[in-house]
Amino acid sequence: MPPIVKLLAQRIALGLLLLFLVSILIFVGTIILPGDVAQSILGQSATPEALANLRRDLGLNDPPVARYFAWLGGILQGDLGTALTSGQDIATAIGSRFSNTLFLAFWAAIISVPLAILLGLVAVRYKDRWPDKLISGVTLASISIPEFLIGYVVMYVIGVKLRWFPSVAMINDSMSLGEKLSAIAMPVMVLTLVVLAHMMRMTRAAILNVMQSAYIETAELKGLSGFQVIYRHAFPNAVAPIVNVVMLNLAYLVVGVVVVEVVFVYPGMGQYLVDHVSKRDVPVVQACGLIFAGVYILLNMVADIVSILSNPRLRHPK
């Protein structure tokens, strides 16, 4: 087997193993929560007979190991289970919600990724001068402020005072693309500010690390301008760490969007998860947690594979 194929197979197998371990943690974390699921569904006025019947129907009387493998077997067959509170099929309910989350994350990524790389290049070009200090200061401030606080500030200023965009980001299939973009404008702003700072700072650090190489000095001695040296020589050789940072932040856009969706009442996976956590709907919480974990592990695995393919030293570690 060629070394590159072996490395890729190892990364994929490691990702699947990690997802299996995460599924165990998610299942264990939900079953050890205090309280009675049947009691929370039927209410305090439920009779002992009704509670016993519901526990039997939900399989709560079965051993935890048997319940886990029954749940995992359903997942492998594409069956995420049924919501306890509504009786709806979880896979069907999550389908539209997940597409909404991906729609929000897509537009945030379209704006934040090119802008982060551009600002990183500008910061390197004007290192230790006022553009670099201004960009670094603003991005450091945005990293330090929690996203929910940024969301409420943006909502108050842009949505309430200026009335440029709606404060509640509600979308549906009957809306045109322009109406959807107007509805998600403020959540996209918040997500862009949150991930832009981290990507920009890591892009700047990666390029500055490459700028210390001998071939950069050779390019400068050839008479190339500062921007030519950066985008023609330094940036291509800093692509691997930049791709890692971009993939990690794309994973955050999908997985860490929960807070932003709740703030703007956006009908995505995050809002769906929070609604059912408050209702103690364990199957929905388990399904959402596993999907979020799967997306995060997948994007991290893609970043790892891209790094291996773009860096010969990783392909031949010995």
Tokens for 198, please give them. 């981290």
Full pLDDT tens readout for the chain, 318 residues: 566 777 778 888 888 888 888 888 888 877 776 666 665 666 666 667 766 776 676 666 667 787 788 778 878 877 777 777 777 777 787 877 888 888 888 888 888 888 887 887 777 777 778 877 888 788 777 777 777 788 888 888 887 788 788 777 777 777 778 778 888 888 888 888 878 877 787 777 777 776 666 666 666 666 666 666 665 656 666 666 677 777 777 777 777 677 788 888 888 887 788 777 777 777 788 888 888 888 888 887 877 777 777 666 555 555
Q: What is the DSSP letter of 17?
A: H
CA distance 156 to 150: 10
Task: Tell me whether residue 136 is in a domain.
Answer: yes
Task: Tell me whether residue 38 is in a domain.
Answer: no
Q: pTM for this structure?
A: 0.74
Task: Tell me whether residue 62 is in a domain.
Answer: no
Q: How many domains does the chain have?
A: 1
CA distance 117 to 186: 22
Task: Tell me whether residue 199 is in a domain.
Answer: yes
CA distance 248 to 245: 5
Task: Tell me whether residue 303 is in a domain.
Answer: no
User: Structural domain of residue 258, as residue ranges?
Assistant: 105-269
Task: Tell me whether residue 58 is in a domain.
Answer: no
Task: Tell me whether residue 66 is in a domain.
Answer: no
Task: Tell me whether residue 205 is in a domain.
Answer: yes
Q: What is the DSSP letter of 158?
A: I
